[in-house]
Amino acid sequence: MKILVCVTSVPDTITKITLTDNNTKLNKAGVQFITGPYDDYALSRAVELKEQLGGTVTVLNVGESDADPVIRKCLAIGADDAIRVNAEPTDAYFVAEQIAAIAKENSYDLILMGRESIDYNGGQVHGIVGEMLGLPSISPVMKLAIDGSTAKITREIEGGHEELEAGLPLVLGCQEPIAEWKIPNMRGIMSARTKPLKVVEPTGKDTLTHIANYELPPARGACKMIPASEAETLIKLLRTEAKVI
């Protein structure tokens, strides 16, 4: 089983977003970058599958050198090697082009990634990669089991889930509870230092979108407090004042 796991380096989920340069840039000062939480699920499942079935796990990131700590952590969790495409991940199409180019050079049985990156929430890279490679893509995947050359998949839908079967190779966008997050141990951290991290230059430069500027949401007005002893008043206010019921 040869698995490629695509990971993003994104601001920690607890980050309070602030802007800089006249609202044209996100302020990175003091922001802790982490592996995308959904990508972490994909990586954890990939490492579990490798432990079960044998094979290799390669981590791929499209990003600049500031993503290296995140990539090293993926290696510490159990990936065998890593590739970084040395470019700013400007938009989904550009990132998908990079992933597809790497995938064409190597034949992977599975290409896993998070259902979406938690920064721009596009959720489109897996679909575009699938299209570029002529492979099925499925997202969001909650469970993944491999039976020979067939994948058995549970995908979340509104109000429930569906069970799917498809032959390998496949491109999958993953989410919980596909695996328990793995935490790197000391041995993993030590070995990650010497595992290969290949840096390659990007191919193509197609971007189809461009962010001109950013805005932060307006603060909500003061919270109107209702004493618990008059809880019924809330329902009246929701009808007559807020007009939502």
Partner 1 sequence: MSVLIFAELDEGALKKSSLEAIYYGSKVAALTGTSATAIVLGEGKADELAKAGRFGATKVLHASDAQLNEGNAMAYASVVAEAANQEGADVIVLAKSSLADSMAARLAGKLKAGLAANVIELPDVSSGFRVKRSIFTGKAFAFTELTAEKKILAIKKNTITPEETEATATVEAFKPALNDTDFAVKVTNVEKASGDILLPEADLVVSAGRGLKGPENWGIVEDLAKALHAATACSKPVSDLDWRPHHEHVGQTGIKISPNLYMACGISGAIQHLAGVNSSKVIVVINKDPEAPFFKSADYGIVGDVFEVLPRLTKAVQEL
CB-wise, 59 or 96, nearer to partner 1?
Answer: 96
Measure Cα distances from 197 to 51, 214, 239 in Å. Answer: 21, 33, 59
- Element holding 143 (H helix, E strand): strand 137-147
Contact 210, 94 (CB under 8 A): no
CB-wise, 51 or 162, nearer to partner 1?
Answer: 162
Report the nearest approach of partner 1 to the CB of residue 2 (Å): 20
CB-wise, 82 or 129, nearer to partner 1?
Answer: 129
Secondary structure class of 164 (helix, strand, coil) = strand
The alpha carbon of 174 is separated from its chain's Cα centroid by a whole number of angstroms, namely 8
CA 189, CA 177: separation in Å to the nearest integer? 25
Report the nearest approach of partner 1 to the CB of residue 156 (Å): 6
CB-wise, 127 or 184, nearer to partner 1?
Answer: 127
CA 106, CA 88: separation in Å to the nearest integer? 23
CA 200, CA 78: separation in Å to the nearest integer? 22
Report the nearest approach of partner 1 to the CB of residue 151 (Å): 9
Nearest to 73 by CA among 173, 237, 184: 184
Which residue's structure tokens are 């003091």? Answer: 30
Report the nearest approach of partner 1 to the CB of residue 127 (Å): 2
CB-wise, 94 or 108, nearer to partner 1?
Answer: 94
Contact 117, 10 (CB under 8 A): yes
Report the nearest approach of partner 1 to the CB of residue 167 (Å): 7
Contact 34, 27 (CB under 8 A): no
For residue 230, the 8-state DSSP code is: G
Report the nearest approach of partner 1 to the CB of residue 169 (Å): 11
CB-wise, 168 or 200, nearer to partner 1?
Answer: 168
Report the nearest approach of partner 1 to the CB of residue 219 (Å): 9
CB-wise, 96 or 192, nearer to partner 1?
Answer: 96
